[in-house]
Amino acid sequence: MDRTGSGVQNALMRRSILILLVVFTANFLSCQQPEATSPESKTIGHPAGTRPSDPATLASAIRGSYYHPDGMYGLNCSVSVNWPAFFAAMKLSPPAERLKAIQGLNIRSQAIRGKSPNITFEWTGGVLSNKERFEDGLNQMLGGYYQMYWSLLASPLIDNAADITKIEPLPDGGAKVYSSSENSNVVITVDKENTPTHYTLDTPALKGTVDLRYIPAPKPVAGDLRRISGMDVSAQIGTSIMNVKLDLDYQVVDGFYVPGHVSYDVGGAYSLSTEFSGCSISKGPIADKTR
């Protein structure tokens, strides 16, 4: 494999590892399958400026504080990558024939909650000599993205009262919400509107933090007061510390809000911009579709 191919593959693999770290963090949060709801969630948050002290009330308030499409169990999209920007960030100049092949690659993803996505590739501008390794890197990257999407963006961080072991009020009106299980401890910081803004994970294998960013919904309603617009992740394994930043915006598909543009930045050294288009969704009882 030439230097260009090696550089692309290494970058994709590094990004895959980092995205999977986000998934690893999310999996330590309780993610029981939520009850299917309409695109506008039926959960109504607790009034802003008051602090629920009852775990069940607080869990409900957290669920209702931001948008997550509980009633959607499947998402199918075409995926395109801004390859020129990627190569420019990597300071690489692939041969014209190679760039033509990569830019002619059509990617289609079929993703269902709780399952590995089905990613298909169609090479319309020529085929790379190392296409299997290239496709494998993209498979891992998109697989990690969808695991992260279902765990962090499309599901509530706190599902019910059983997920909460302790509530610690903060002077600014927010609170620290503790959730623990064997060998893992998660602390979620919520603001005075009960919106999760920061959480930490502490396990024997990994220590990490996630800072969540939001945008207000254009027409706020119960269950869609705000939407996650990005996250900053820091993960430490042993003495190694890795950072990844994710930004996204939304598109409307059959009444649900799903990511349209997603970009990643890894430690300021690598960046990848992706577009999801031609999407369709599947509705129905989630539990029946993810067994």
Query: pTM here?
Result: 0.79
By the 10 Å C-beta count (0-12 exposed, 13-18 middle, 19+ buried), 153 is classed as buried
What residue ranges do the domains of the chain occupy? Answer: 3-289
User: At how many degrees (to 10) do helices 3-27 and 83-90 cross?
Assistant: 100
By the 10 Å C-beta count (0-12 exposed, 13-18 middle, 19+ buried), 207 is classed as middle
E strand or H helix at 10, and its extent?
helix 3-27
User: At how many degrees (to 10) do helices 3-27 and 131-148 cross?
Assistant: 20
The phi, psi pair for 189, rounded to 5°, reads -95, 125
pLDDT in tens, the chain (291 residues): 344 443 433 333 333 334 444 443 333 333 223 333 334 433 444 444 455 678 999 999 999 999 999 999 999 999 999 998 888 877 888 899 999 999 999 999 999 998 999 999 999 999 998 899 889 888 888 888 898 899 889 988 888 888 899 999 999 999 999 987 777 888 999 999 999 999 898 888 788 899 999 999 999 999 999 999 999 988 887 888 888 889 999 999 999 999 999 998 877 767 889 999 999 999 975 544 444
